[in-house]
Amino acid sequence: MSVEYHIDRERGVVFTRCGGTLTVADMRDIASQLRADPDFKPDHRQLIDLSQVDGMTASFDAIYRFAVYNGDPFSGSSRRAVVAPQPVLYGIARMYQGMREDKDRGTFRVYRTLAEAHDWLSLEPAETTSSRQ
């Protein structure tokens, strides 16, 4: 599994790209990296691209604990978009959306295309998810 991110400080956006088989351990690792990154702010916008993920090995309970008990480093006011073109990952992302405490604020959305996510986050379509680990 590979999870990479790039923080664009000027625009206040974290671009996160995942590939391979995603695990909750991967999610915890990237959360720890973000928290330690001096450029990260919990209220940044985020674009999570799952288009290169071919599977996920995580129990409902593990995902729930990450979503609810401080695994997720972003604040409830952060605007975040997940791109999940595959039906199973789209469903898992929607399940995660429902677990979040900020679900009633509408700040976390799941889309099937990058174009939809870019539009909702007010990003230009040409802006990339270029990344670093």
Neighbour-count burial of 61, counting CB atoms closer than 10 A to its CB (0-12 exposed, 13-18 middle, 19+ buried): exposed
Question: What's residue 130's pLDDT?
Answer: 46
Which residues, including other chains, have CB under 8 Å from residue 5's CB and lie 6 or more apart?
A: 14, 15, 16, 17, 30, 33, 34, 131, 132, 133
Q: Which residues of the chain have pLDDT under 50?
A: 129-133
CATH number of this structure's domain 2-120, picked from the four choices 3.30.60.50, 3.30.750.24, 3.90.550.10, 3.30.1600.10: 3.30.750.24
Question: What's residue 126's pLDDT?
Answer: 57
Question: What's residue 66's pLDDT?
Answer: 87
Q: What is the pLDDT of residues 58-70, one digit of tens each?
A: 888 998 988 888 7
CA–CA gap between residue 133 and residue 6 (Å, rounded): 8
